Amino acid sequence: MEWEAVIGLEIHAELETNSKMFCRCPVVDVTVADPNTAVCVVCTGQPGVLPVINRRAVEFAIMVGLALNCEIADFNKFDRKNYFYPDLPKGYQISQYDYPIAKNGYLMIDLPDGSTKRIRIRRAHLEEDTAKNTHLSDGTSLVDFNRSGIPLLEIVTEPDIHSAEEAEAFGRKLRAILQYLGVNSGDMSKGVLRMEPNISVRPMGSDELRTRTEVKNLNSIRNMFRASEEEIKRQIKVWEAGGAVEQETRGWDEVRQTTVLQRSKESAHDYRYFPEPDLPVLHIAREWVEEIRARMPELPDAKRERYLGGYGLGAYDAGVLVADRAIGDYFEAAVKAGGDPKTVANWITGQIFRLMNQSGLEREQINEIPITPETLVALIGLIDNNTINNNTAKRVLDILYAEGGDPAAIVKAHGLAQETDTSILQQAIDDVLQANPSEIERWKNGEEKVAKFLMGQVMRALGGKADAQLIQQLLQESLTNFG
Ligand code: ADP
Ligand code: MG
Ligand code: ZN
């Protein structure tokens, strides 16, 4: 039987405001800051304190809602979601239950085959993050309240996603939008962005919704893709063996590359939601929404159109360049520095990505490489003015990537400038032809490819540092004139 996956995503995105959701504590990088240094009586849940809504967090949520084509609610209410856990000092989380700030939207995702697909967004609501528990091997548990109260936007999709590839495409597009809006760094390894797929499978062609599992603790989009893939396979196996998939929360075992049971279905959620009595109802004025809409930054789809039209890039390059805001910024800085758009795009998506992959850098970390956009343009300039050829430029790029510095200076220090003195080039050609009389015979008998071999020999004799076109031209002439 053929099976179809059904996936809905729940995403938690911390909003990178200056202060927390309901208090004045700064929002810090919890993977770096000393524990419990950004805390106060409000975010540690002391009795008698009052929360105050962070206006900027609401504004960020509206921006995300608009970018996801949602209706922005006029009437907003906060609710208490009650449960006990050591990372939740109040015994409840302030969230939005029946009146989320945004709902009924959609996101167009870009699939690997070049097609697009619309994924409906059910809702997005504001809440506060919990503290962070760390469990040590000796049985001790530590709580860091720096994260407690950081603004959090929970985004929930409809179950419109039907493969691990689509889940990945959704994740990439959403992350790009959050980065473009400047509301979230997108760094899943730090936990500031968390994506949890709800997964079920059903016979292809049916529209039933079978029991789903939820996969948590995915620290990268790559892992979300892999976990979805494996979980889909696992469920198909269960059904095909005559069993039934249980509703449960599963985690991702990176080492074994498989999903593992974390906890089985908890008794039906009973959070005893009720309206947060310490916060007023929040009305969002239409004028405010329109004012925010008017100053929304350019988003990935619009940027891609601009790259396709204005810069004449191909669809693939344009898609890759806009997929991470940092890459697009790098590309545009290089073009601004005088680089030819197509050439710059090639160098970024080819050589620079190769080097970044080798050193394990994510695309959004392009600003951390020791090659600035201006340096890249300077390197391309050395090819354009025939100082070095393409292959040498790749060597220079490797050196730049390792050590930084100035391309021209590196060419000089390493003696990489190409030989342009035609008498020296001609000498090298003559030497090679002298040494290969039988190849010349074959060439004369019409074996064109021999020229390529001879070309390689000449290039090698010159240490790879020569203008390939010039050599080809000289070689062709020499061959014709020879004997
Ligand atoms: P809850 O409120 O209990 O978390 P929801 O019905 O709100 O459950 O759904 C949470 C997420 O799970 C949504 O993204 C939704 O699209 C998805 N989902 C719901 N039912 C299924 C199913 N049978 N298979 C896959 N995903 C599902
Ligand atoms: Mg849920
Ligand atoms: Zn605080």
Confidence of residue 219 (pLDDT cuts 50, 70, 90): very high
How large is the average pLDDT for residues 19-33?
Answer: 98
- Residue 19 Cα to ligand 3 midpoint, Å, equals 8
What is the atom index within ligand 1 of the atom nearest the CA of 160? 16
Domain boundaries, the chain: 7-202+268-291, 298-413, 422-482
Nearest CA to ligand 1 atom 8: 198
Output the ligand 1 site: residues, CB below 6 A: 6-10, 156-159, 198-200, 209-210, 212
Judged against a pLDDT cut of 70, whether residue 267 lies above it is answered with no
Quick one: which ligand is closest to 37's CA? 3
Nearest ligand to the CA of 207 is: 1
Residues in the chain: 483
User: Nearest residue CA, atom 23 of ligand 1?
Assistant: 209
| Average pLDDT of the segment spanning 376-390 | 95
pLDDT in the model for residue 288: 98
Stretch (H or E) spanning 92:
strand 92-95
pLDDT tens digits, 385-415: 999 999 999 999 999 999 999 999 999 999 9
Tens of pLDDT along 312-335? 898 889 999 999 999 999 999 999
| Tens-digit pLDDT profile for residues 439-453 | 888 988 888 888 899
60-74, 119-133, 461-475: lowest mean pLDDT where?
461-475
Ligand 1 mean position, distance from CA 269 (Å): 13
Task: State in Å: Cα 67 to ligand 1 middle.
Answer: 22
Q: Does domain 422-482 fall into CATH 1.20.140.10? A: no
Distance of alpha carbon 232 from its chain centroid, rounded? 23
Q: What is the mean pLDDT of residues 213-229?
A: 95
How far, in Å, is the centroid of ligand 1 from the Cα of 283? Answer: 28
Ligand closest to 156 (CA) is 1
268-323, pLDDT tens digit by residue? 578 999 999 999 999 999 999 999 999 999 999 999 999 999 898 988 899 999 99
pLDDT computed for residue 65 by the predictor: 98
Mean pLDDT within 345-362: 95
Alpha helices in 350-467 (DSSP H): 353-358, 373-384, 390-403, 407-413, 422-435, 437-444, 449-461
Measure 152 CA to ligand 2 centroid, in angstroms: 14
pLDDT of residue 303: 95
Q: Give the range among 34-38, 406-410, 460-464 with minimum mean pLDDT.
A: 460-464
Kindly tell me if the per-residue pLDDT of 482 is higher than 90.
Answer: no
Return the CA Rg of the chain: 29
Sort residue 99 into left (φ over 0), alpha (ψ -120 to 50) or beta. beta
Supply the residue whose CA is at minimum distance from atom 9 of ligand 1. Answer: 8
pLDDT at 483: 58
Q: What is the C-alpha separation between 459 and 469, in angstroms, rounded?
A: 11
- CB burial readout 348-359, b (16+ within 10 A) else e: bbebbbebbeee
Return the ligand 1 atom nearest residue 6 CA. Answer: 25
pLDDT at 461 over 80: yes
Residue 224 has pLDDT above 90, yes or no: yes
State which amino acid sits at residue 75.
F
> What mean pLDDT value characterizes the chain?
95
pTM, 2 dp: 0.85
3-state secondary structure labels for all residues of 140-156: CEEEECCCCCCEEEEEE
